[in-house]
Amino acid sequence: MSSAFTIRFTGKGISPDAVPLHELAALLVAAENAILGIVRRDFPEATDDQMVVSLDQIKHESLGLAFADPAGSVVTRGYSKFVETVDSGALYRLPGQSLDGLRAMTRFSGEYKCATQFYLADSTLPSVVLPSDYEVKVPRLDYIRGETSVYGTVERAGGVLPRVKIKLSESKYLYCSTTGEQARLLGARLYKEVGLDGRATWDPRDGTMVYFAVDNINLFEPTDPPSAFRELAAASGGAYDDMEDLDGYIASLRMDD
C-alpha cells in the first residue's frame, strides 16, 4: 500500500541518521498535532480508531516522513485541509493544536537550515514548500478561561489519555479531559444524558469552546414536564398553597432584585 502523504525536510546534511532520536520523535508528534487539531475540529464524528496518524516509513530523501491512513480517509482529509490553509497563508484559521505542530516543524527547519515540504499522496511535487526561515506569524490569542457546566449525551469514554466525547446537539460534539475514574463512570452512562461541571477555555474570536476539563459529574434521569412540576410542588412542602396571587409574589421578588 502506498503512503497517504509525506512530509520532507530537505537541505544540506539533513538525513535520518543525522537527527537525534528524541528530535525525530518530537517531529512526529508535531506532525500528528498539526493534523489531529483539524480532524478534531472539522470532523467531530470521527472515532478514536479513525484518528490515528500512522508512520509508514522514514525515507533517506534528506529526511522524509511518509504516513499511512489505515483507518480511512479522515486523517488524510485533515492533512489536506492543513496543507491548504498553510498554502493560503491564513494561519489564523488553524486550531491551536495545529499551530503548535506547525511551529515545532518550522522550528526544526530553522535549526537544521532545511526546507519543509508537504506532499499529497504519491505526488512527485510538493504542494507547499516552507523555507528554513519561515515564521509562523499569528498573534497569540488571549484565550478566555473559566468554570462552566455542559449537558449532553455520552458518545464515548476512555482511552490511554482519558477523554469523554459529549454530543451537545445533532451537529456539535465536545471532547472533555477526564480522570480514569471519571471515564469509567461516564462509560457506564453510554448514550445517556449527563451534566458536567469543569474548567473551560474559549476561543475569543468566535466563542468556540476549545478545551474542557471535567471536575464534577452530575448524573440525572430525564423526566417529562408534568412529573418535574409534581416533584417541584412536593419539594415546596405546600409553602405556597395559601398564596392567592403567586404570580404577583414572584414579580415582586424580581422587582426587589
Q: What is the pLDDT of residues 30-77, one digit of tens each?
A: 999 999 999 988 887 788 888 889 999 999 989 999 998 876 789 999
CB within 8 A of 117, min separation 6: which ones? 7, 8, 9, 10, 126, 128, 129, 130
When comparing pLDDT for 234 and 7, which is higher?
7
CB within 8 A of 181, min separation 6: which ones? none
- Residue 193 sits in a domain of what CATH number? 2.40.50.140
Residues in the chain: 257
Domain range for 201: 144-219
Residue 231 has pLDDT above 60, yes or no: yes
Residue 184 inside a domain? The answer is yes
Q: CA–CA separation, 214 vs 217, rounded Å? A: 7
Q: What is the pLDDT of residues 70-101, one digit of tens each?
A: 767 899 999 999 999 999 998 988 988 899 99
Quick one: 89 and 21 in the same domain?
Answer: yes
pLDDT of residue 114: 96
Q: What is the count of structural domains for the chain?
A: 3
Q: CA–CA separation, 196 vs 176, rounded Å? A: 9
Residue where the block lists cell 480522570: 179
Quick one: 201 and 86 in the same domain?
Answer: no
The fraction of the chain above a pLDDT of 70, given in percent, is 87
Quick one: 84 and 160 in the same domain?
Answer: no
Quick one: 243 and 199 in the same domain?
Answer: no
